[in-house]
C-alpha cells in the first residue's frame, strides 16, 4: 500500500501567501519609516534649519533656560528665539558663554567659527519731519 501524498488545500496555500505578502509589506513600511526618521534626524543636525543650525543671523526675540533632571544628574538647555531677516522665527541652542552675553533685542550672527553679537543702532528721529 502506498502512502498518500498530502497536498495543502488551496485555502491554506492562499492563507500562507497572504501572510507572506503582509509580512513583506510590513517590513517595507518599517524600512521606509526608518529611512524617513534618519533623513529627518540628519536634516535637524546638519541642515540650515533646526536647533543645530550651523549658520544663522537675526534679532534675538526671547531667551529661555530649560532644566532637565535625570537619574544621572541635571543639565540646563539654553535656547534663543531668533527672528531672521525674512521674518521667520526659529529657536537655536547655544552655549553658556553666548547665552550670558546675549540680550533680547540684540542682533546675532553665527558663522562657521564665530559668534557676533551687536546692539541695534538707535533709530535717529528726524526733528525736521515733526514740523
Q: How confident is the model at residue 131 (pLDDT cuts 50, 70, 90)?
A: very low
pTM more than 0.75 = no
Tell me the C-alpha distance between 30 and 8, whole Å. Answer: 31
Query: What is the strand order of the sheet 89-93 is part of?
Result: 89-93, 73-84, 56-70, 107-110, 115-118
For the chain, give every domain's residue range.
Answer: 9-46, 56-118
Closest CA to 60 of 122, 124, 119: 119
pLDDT digits (tens, 9 = 90+) for 87-120: 889 888 899 999 999 999 999 998 877 888 988 7
Kind plus residue range of the DSSP H or E element containing 71: none
> Which residues lie below 8 Å from residue 44, measured CB to CB, with a gap of 6+?
50, 51, 52
DSSP state of 122: P
pLDDT digits (tens, 9 = 90+) for 38-66: 988 887 776 666 666 678 899 999 999 99
Domain 56-118 has CATH 2.40.50: yes
Amino acid at each position: 500500500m502506498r502512502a498518500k501524498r498530502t497536498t495543502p488545500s488551496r485555502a491554506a496555500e492562499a492563507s500562507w501567501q497572504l501572510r507572506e505578502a503582509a509580512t513583506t509589506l510590513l517590513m517595507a513600511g518599517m524600512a521606509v519609516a526608518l529611512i524617513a526618521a534618519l533623513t529627518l534626524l540628519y536634516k535637524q543636525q546638519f541642515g540650515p534649519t533646526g536647533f543645530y543650525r550651523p549658520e544663522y543671523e537675526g534679532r534675538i526675540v526671547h531667551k529661555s533656560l530649560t532644566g532637565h533632571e535625570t537619574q544621572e544628574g541635571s543639565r540646563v538647555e539654553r535656547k534663543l528665539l531668533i527672528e531672521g531677516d525674512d521674518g521667520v522665527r526659529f529657536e537655536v541652542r547655544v552655549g553658556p558663554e553666548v547665552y550670558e552675553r546675549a540680550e533680547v533685542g540684540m542682533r546675532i550672527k553665527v558663522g562657521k567659527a564665530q559668534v557676533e553679537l551687536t546692539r541695534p543702532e538707535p533709530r535717529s528721529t528726524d526733528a525736521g519731519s515733526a514740523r
